[in-house]
C-alpha cells in the first residue's frame, strides 16, 4: 500500500524508487535515459567529496556512457575514454583543450573535408592557427613539430584517398618534441589498428561508422591518457557536446560484432578493389590492400589482418560518369556516410569535401570523377555484379 493518499502524488513517484536487489544481472547492458540522478545526502555530491563516484546530470554522463567508455578502453588499450555527440564534437574539444589563442596545431593536409574546414577556417577565428603538412614526409613533419606545435592531427587511413602514414615514426617525432599525436582511426577501427599501441596520445572515432556499424547511432569517442581524457571530458560538458544515452546504448549493442564485421568488410573491399583496378571505365583505384598501391608493403605491416572496408576510385568521364553509375546501381546504395553492413557509395566532391577551393581539392586528389565506396558484409560477388552492370 502506498504511503501517499493523493493519486497525483502516487502517479508522480510511481516506479521511481531504487531497483530491488537481485542476484542476477542483465546480459545486455541496460540504457539509463534519466537526465538527472537523485542523491540521498548532500555529502554524496562528487564536488563535495571527490572520493565518491556518482552521476548527477545527463551532460556529464550516465552509466550507459560510462559502459561505452569502459568498452573502448578495453578495445583500444587506453587509460580512459570519453564520448561526445559526434566525431566533430570530439575534434572541437580536442582543439580547444590542446591549444589556445596565439598557438599552433599541425595537421596532415590529406584529411576529411569537415576536419580540414574546421582546422583551417573555424579555429583561426579563435586565434589558433593550423600548419598543414604532408604526413608522408617525415622531414616536413619534424620541422613543423619542433617549432612549438601544441598537437599533431593525422588520420590512420585518409578520407577519401586511403593514404597510410608511418604512424610509429610520427609518434616517435611527437614524443621527441613533446607534441601529442592525435589519430582519427575511424576508417580502421580498433579491430584493425590501435594507435595507442604505437605511441599516439589519443585515438578517436566517429561512432556513426564502424563502431556502431548499422547507421543507427551517432557520436564520437576519444581514448588515451587519463589526464588528457579528463580535460576533454570537462571541455565536452562545458561546450554541451554530450552524446545521447540511446546512441551510446546502440553502440554498445554493435561493438561485440566489430571484429566479425571488420573481417567481412576487409574481404569485400579487397575483392571489389581487385575487380575495379582491371575495369576499363576506372581511371584509378585507391586501396592500400592492392599490390599496385605505392604503400602496399607498409600497409601489410601496419594492417596485417586487412586494410579495412573503404576504397575510392576515379571514373573516366568525371561527374557525368558518376551520375550514370549512381542511376544504374541496384544493390549498392548512394549514401553520404560509411561503415554500414551494406555497401554504400558516396561522392566526396559534393559531400565530405564540398565547398573546398579548387586548388585544395586538386591537392587532395578529390576530383569530379572520384567515388568513395564503403564495402559492406555482403557476398563480394553480388556487389561486384552490381558494379559490373552499372559500369558496363
* pLDDT tens sequence across 80-106: 999 999 999 999 999 999 999 999 999
Mean pLDDT of 142-146: 97
- Do residues 282 and 276 make contact, with C-beta atoms less than 8 angstroms apart? yes
Closest CA to 368 of 317, 312, 310: 317
**Residues for the chain: how many in total?**
392
Q: Name every residue whose Cβ is closer than 8 Å to that of residue 6 and which is 6 or more positions away in sequence.
A: none
* Confidence band, pLDDT 50/70/90 cuts, at residue 285: very high
If phi over 0 gives left and psi between -120 and 50 gives alpha, with beta otherwise, what is residue 261? alpha
* Confidence band, pLDDT 50/70/90 cuts, at residue 192: very high
Mean pLDDT of 63-77: 96
Count CB-CB contacts under 10 A for residue 254: 19
pLDDT at residue 100 in the model: 97
pLDDT at residue 361 in the model: 83
- How far are the Cα atoms of 70, 191, 247, 352 from residue 81, in angstroms, in the given order? 7, 17, 16, 27
pLDDT at residue 8 in the model: 79
Q: Give the lowest-confidence range in 147-156, 197-206, 349-358.
A: 349-358
Q: State how far the Cα of 134 lies from the Cα of 141, in Å rounded to an integer.
A: 7
**pLDDT mean across residues, the chain:** 94
| Statement: residue 200 has pLDDT above 70 | yes
- Which pLDDT tens digit goes with each residue over 122-141? 999 999 999 999 999 999 99
74 vs 46, residue with greater confidence = 74
The packing angle between helices 63-76 and 245-254, to 10°, is 40
Mean pLDDT of 358-372: 88
Count CB-CB contacts under 10 A for residue 158: 25
Q: What percent of the chain has pLDDT over 90?
A: 81
Strand pairing category for 181-184 and 202-206: parallel
| Statement: residue 1 has pLDDT above 60 | no
Q: Give the lowest-confidence range in 59-63, 123-127, 222-226, 243-247.
A: 59-63
| Statement: residue 2 has pLDDT above 70 | no
Closest CA to 155 of 176, 133, 139: 133
- Which pLDDT tens digit goes with each residue over 26-52? 899 999 999 999 888 888 887 767 677
| Statement: residue 302 has pLDDT above 80 | yes
Q: Name every residue whose Cβ is closer than 8 Å to that of residue 295 and which is 6 or more positions away in sequence.
A: 163, 164, 288
- Does this model's pTM top 0.85? My answer is yes
pLDDT at residue 306 in the model: 96
Hey, what domains does the chain have and what are their CATH numbers? 42-257 (3.40.640.10), 258-391 (3.90.1150.10)
pLDDT at residue 224 in the model: 98
Burial of 334 (0-12, 13-18, 19+ CB in 10 A): middle
Amino acid at each position: 500500500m502506498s504511503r501517499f493518499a493523493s493519486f497525483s502524488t502516487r502517479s508522480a513517484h510511481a516506479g521511481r524508487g531504487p531497483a530491488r536487489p537481485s542476484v542476477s544481472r542483465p546480459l545486455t547492458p541496460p540504457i539509463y535515459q534519466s537526465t538527472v540522478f537523485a542523491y540521498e545526502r548532500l555529502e554524496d555530491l562528487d564536488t563535495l567529496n571527490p572520493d565518491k563516484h556518482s552521476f548527477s546530470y545527463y551532460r556529464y554522463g550516465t552509466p550507459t556512457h560510462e559502459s561505452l567508455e569502459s568498452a573502448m578502453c578495453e578495445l583500444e588499450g587506453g587509460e580512459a575514454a570519453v564520448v561526445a555527440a559526434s566525431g566533430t564534437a570530439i575534434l572541437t574539444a580536442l582543439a580547444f583543450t590542446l591549444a589556445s589563442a596565439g598557438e599552433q596545431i599541425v595537421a596532415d593536409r590529406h584529411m576529411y573535408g569537415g576536419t580540414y574546414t574546421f582546422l583551417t577556417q573555424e579555429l583561426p577565428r579563435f586565434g589558433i592557427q593550423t600548419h598543414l603538412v604532408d604526413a608522408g614526409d617525415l622531414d616536413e613533419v619534424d620541422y613543423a613539430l619542433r617549432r612549438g606545435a601544441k598537437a599533431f592531427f593525422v588520420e590512420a587511413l585518409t578520407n577519401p584517398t586511403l593514404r597510410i602514414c608511418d604512424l610509429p615514426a610520427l609518434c616517435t617525432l611527437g614524443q621527441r618534441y613533446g607534441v601529442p599525436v592525435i589519430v582519427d582511426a575511424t576508417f580502421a577501427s580498433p579491430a584493425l589498428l590501435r594507435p595507442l599501441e604505437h605511441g599516439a596520445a589519443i585515438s578517436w572515432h566517429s561512432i556513426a561508422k564502424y563502431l556502431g556499424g548499422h547507421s543507427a547511432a551517432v557520436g564520437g569517442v576519444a581514448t588515451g591518457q587519463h589526464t588528457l581524457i579528463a580535460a576533454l571530458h570537462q571541455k565536452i560538458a562545458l561546450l554541451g557536446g554530450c552524446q545521447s544515452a540511446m546512441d551510446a546504448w546502440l553502440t554498445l549493442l554493435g561493438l561485440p560484432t566489430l571484429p566479425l564485421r571488420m573481417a567481412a568488410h576487409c574481404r569485400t573491399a579487397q575483392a571489389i578493389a581487385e575487380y575495379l583496378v582491371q575495369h576499363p571505365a576506372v581511371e584509378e583505384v585507391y586501396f592500400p590492400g592492392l599490390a599496385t598501391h605505392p604503400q602496399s608493403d607498409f600497409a601489410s605491416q601496419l594492417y596485417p589482418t586487412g586494410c579495412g572496408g573503404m576504397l575510392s576510385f576515379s571514373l573516366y568521364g568525371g561527374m557525368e560518369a558518376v551520375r550514370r553509375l549512381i542511376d544504374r546501381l541496384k544493390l549498392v546504395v548512394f549514401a553520404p556516410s560509411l561503415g554500414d553492413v551494406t555497401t554504400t557509395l558516396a561522392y566526396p566532391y559534393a559531400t565530405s569535401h564540398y565547398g573546398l577551393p579548387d586548388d585544395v581539392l586538386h591537392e587532395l586528389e578529390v576530383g569530379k570523377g572520384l567515388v568513395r565506396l564503403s564495402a559492406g558484409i555482403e557476398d563480394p560477388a553480388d556487389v561486384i555484379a552490381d558494379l559490373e552492370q552499372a559500369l558496363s
